[in-house]
Chain A
Amino acid sequence: GAVVSQHPSRVICKSGTSVKIECRSLDFQATTMFWYRQFPKQSLMLMATSNEGSKATYEQGVEKDKFLINHASLTLSTLTVTSAHPEDSSFYICSARGFGRVGTEAFFGQGTRLTVV
């Protein structure tokens, strides 16, 4: 299947700092990327949907100014957690869907474990 890569896989940052997470589609062009958050022993919750070249669409309750999403190219989307706090510690996962795969599965990255201390 298609490959979606996230970087970094783990990051520890100090409270108040910002962290950027990258999501790349390695072997296809991703027209749409999705960002999810998963707390321990819980399910994945959709945070936002980003389409290449346009503003992201955020789910209800997700602060767009805190979770900045950029999808500037067909192979890269970034999520920046600004002014991170301990409650932002979570597992962040992206998925990507693209040309030739319309209407079917989105491929997931391996996730990024964020710990804010």
Chain B
Amino acid sequence: GESVGLHLPTLSVQEGDNSIINCAYSNSASDYFIWYKQESGKGPQFIIDIRSNMDKRQGQRVTVLLNKTVKHLSLQIAATQPGDSAVYFCAENIGGGADGLTFGKGTHLIIQP
């Protein structure tokens, strides 16, 4: 079945640099996308979301970009800090959040000192 996919399983960046985590999705009917951060042994933590009627949304140090033409989603983290080390998942939904989420495979972000 269709699912949200992953571009890179591990991303290593220098502390202070910007991080870009990518995600591909295949279900063109998806209209709601969320990025989550998961630390080891914990549940997912909401970072930022975006609806399909937008192509960019900014939060504190994070930006999500949505390209519906190529079904691509990205998370940009500015000035990466050690506390940003975690696995990041994109998730998709149809119906604006009414149903359960389909998660991507995750990217492990490693911060180099």
Q: Which residue of chain B lies nearest to A4 when distances are taken between CB atoms in the complex?
A: B43
Tell me if A113 is interfacial: C-beta within 8 Å of chain B: yes
Q: Which range contains the number of A residues in contact with the other chain?
A: 20 to 34
Q: Which residue of chain B lies nearest to A101 when distances are taken between CB atoms in the complex?
A: B97
Tell me if B2 is interfacial: C-beta within 8 Å of chain A: no
Q: Decide if A43 touches B45 in the complex (CB within 8 Å).
A: no
Number of interface residues of B (CB under 8 A): 21
Q: How far is the CB of A39 from chain B (nearest CB, A)?
A: 12
The complex places the Cα of A116 from the Cα of B88 at a distance, in Å, of: 28
Q: Decide if B106 touches A97 in the complex (CB within 8 Å).
A: no
Query: Which residues of chain A are near B44, meaning CB under 8 Å?
Result: 44, 93, 108
Q: Decide if A110 touches B42 in the complex (CB within 8 Å).
A: yes
Please encode chain A, from 91 to 117, with 1 for each CB lying within 8 Å of some chain B CB and 0 for all others. Answer: 001010100001111111111010000
Q: Decide if A103 touches B41 in the complex (CB within 8 Å).
A: no
Query: Which residues of chain A are near B105, meaning CB under 8 Å?
Result: 42-43
Q: How far is the CB of B96 from chain A (nearest CB, A)?
A: 5
Query: Which residues of chain B are near A26, meaning CB under 8 Å?
Result: none
Interface residue SS majority, chain B: loop
Please encode chain B, from 47 to 61, with 1 for each CB lying within 8 Å of some chain A CB and 0 for all others. Answer: 001000000000000
The complex places the Cα of A76 from the Cα of B99 at a distance, in Å, of: 18
Tell me if B98 is interfacial: C-beta within 8 Å of chain A: yes
Q: How far is the CB of B6 from chain A (nearest CB, A)?
A: 8
Query: Which residues of chain A are near B25, meaning CB under 8 Å?
Result: none
Q: Decide if B45 touches A97 in the complex (CB within 8 Å).
A: no
19 additional A-B residue pairs with CB within 8 Å, beyond A1-B46, A106-B97:
A36-B103, A43-B104, A43-B105, A43-B106, A44-B44, A46-B102, A49-B99, A59-B100, A95-B101, A97-B97, A102-B98, A103-B97, A107-B46, A108-B43, A108-B46, A110-B42, A111-B41, A111-B42, A113-B41
| Nearest 8 interchain pairs by C-beta | A108-B43, A46-B100, A43-B103, A103-B96, A44-B103, A111-B43, A103-B97, A34-B100
Residues of chain B at the chain A interface (Cβ within 8 Å): 34, 36, 41-46, 49, 89, 96-106
